[in-house]
Amino acid sequence: MTDKFLNDLIKLYEYLDLQKNNTNKLITYLEDEEYDKLTIIDEFAKTLNLELDSNLRLALVTRLVNLRDDSLVQVLKKIGKNEKEIIDLQEKAYCFVRDFWHEKHKNTIDYIKHNNLLTPFYQEIFTGVYNVGLKMSSWQSSWTAHIINGVNKELLNMFDGNETKVFEYLKKHKLFDLGHNNIEADRSYSALVKEKDTYKSKAYIDSFKKQTTEVVDALENFEQRLIELEDEEFGQKWDYILYIQSLIKAFSENKTHLLVEKWADVDRAWMKIKSPVQIGHPLEYYEDHFRKAVALEWDIRLTNPHFAQNDHRVNKIKSAFAKIFDNIEQSDEYKATYDFSLKSLDKVQLYIGRPALFFGAEFNGLFSAQVVPNDEIVSKEEGKKIFAFSDEILQISRAKPFLKLSQEIFGQKLLTKDREFLFNETDKWHQVYDISTIGHEYGHILWCDDETETLMNETGNFKNIEEFKATTGGLISFFLDTQNDEKELEEQVLIDLVKRAVGLIGWMEVDEVQPYYCEGLIHLSGLFTVGILDFENEKLNIDLSVCKIEELKQWYEKTYTDLAKHYLDKKDATQFLERFAKKESKYFMPSDSKIKAFVEFYFNRYKEIGQELDKEDKKSNYIK
């Protein structure tokens, strides 16, 4: 990489940092009650035809800045909107947020061109991704309407809300896409379309013909523009072009049994691109609970120019992985899965950076980190990429408003300690992020081979234990670590865990993040079992004494070993989940009565005061 390119990357990275700070100012204006500076929020409320009050104002700022709509949904329920009205308002909000960010992304491209940053080739990468992104974003609305709010709700109604029966129906009528070797795939690139009284699986090019054709046209245009340029920095011109060509083929494929293979080719081509400018394509499938239709993600992730590759976390993960595996009786099948995971770990490419442009489904929430591709056949050949947006997450965490709910649940003592750390210990904060978040992404890779998910997802709960497995993989690498280089972070890692486990309860009713809600319930089980958390007289007591922490480590080691064995046996995920939580009408609830009482209490308080600002404590108390 030339010095000019490196300096340009630094300038662009700093520009994105500054832009994010400017957007985050909306939160500061809200905290300081400078409502005259929140004209964009007035406009947002007007677009939704809603009367502004303090709760709605916070929910709209959260929707616009942090791209999450769970607060908005709670406010809409509180003011008596019915399900149909909420869906309509969510869609209008999506369009408002989309247009706001499209404008910002356009400014980023203008900034690159105006200052002649990067090279003509990489300028064109940014422009091309933006043009394709506009088409992805306009497709997102009909994708959500058809799959999430259409077919999925129809299927649930058909079977009175019984998800098991929905899965049986889909299986019986062969409505899942076929994957590698013609076995049922763990995801789909198609949608169900009703014909008379039956459903038929149709590729996106058939079920969303207009929108997919527009994406393909934009990709073809993108490819033509790149052919005329050279990548003098990294020599990856043809890798990018082959990647875009594979995307065109995948989006254009209309035979549903060939879709997974075509998208595997996209992932293969993508794994060859190793420059700091990474394009993200449809990879994740959280939103669609039934057929795991892959979401319309499209973005550029920019690597932090100061980031140096290191094996720090992966070596600790490997060491803990080996210790846990040694505790399990050995067999050839187990060893084969263990070796498969180990090989995947060795092939990981790590990118630490931030999102530069993002479109489509990503206006409904950006990930803080990601390990992809999810196609294990591809990973066996090519490995995986881990993306971690630590700078972005630190910025978001520092900007987040202090909430009355946190004050009530956690108490000022714990919050003060946590906030002192957040605002003043930048390097240590990044170390904790490395354990919890990057550790989480490495944790996804463990105990899996190319058929694990399909076999364990018979009743649709694989993702609902997989997030716990991932986070705990990172925690175990910390708890079982024999080196003492991270020991001083122990209390902060635990505070982080407690806040995560409790905070995830707030997502109880948000279907696409159900896996995280379920993860939280399993963590709560451990925290309550060893007495770090206790709930009496509507008060959460928190005890982070050394002896309790030691007990918790043992609980995690035992629970994680049981979970690893469950994965090695490829048993149905529901069996493990039901040790901790069972479905009650629509949502999972803890099996333990005390934890259940706390979950119900917290969720009720979340609904009542979840959108209220904490007026007792201020950021100025921590910023030194």
Closest CA to 223 of 295, 361, 127, 294: 127
Going by the DSSP 8-state scheme, the letter that residue 612 receives in this structure is: -
- Look at residue 287 in the predicted model and tell me its pLDDT: 86
Distance CA 573, CA 570 (A): 8
The per-residue pLDDT for 510 is 86
Q: Tokens 């309509």 appear where? A: 88
The C-alpha angle with vertex 266 and arms to 461 and 291, in degrees rounded to 5, equals 25
Task: For each of the domains in the chain, give its residue range(s) and CATH number, in order of start.
Answer: 1-117 (no CATH), 119-303+349-383 (3.30.540.30), 312-335+397-621 (no CATH)
- The tens digit of pLDDT for each residue in 139-149 reads 999 999 999 99
Closest CA to 176 of 188, 164, 168: 188
Query: In which residue ranges of the chain is pLDDT below 50?
Result: none
* 494 contacts: CB under 8 Å, gap ≥ 6: 532, 544, 549, 552
Separation CA 251–CA 11 (nearest Å) = 35
pLDDT value, residue 228: 97
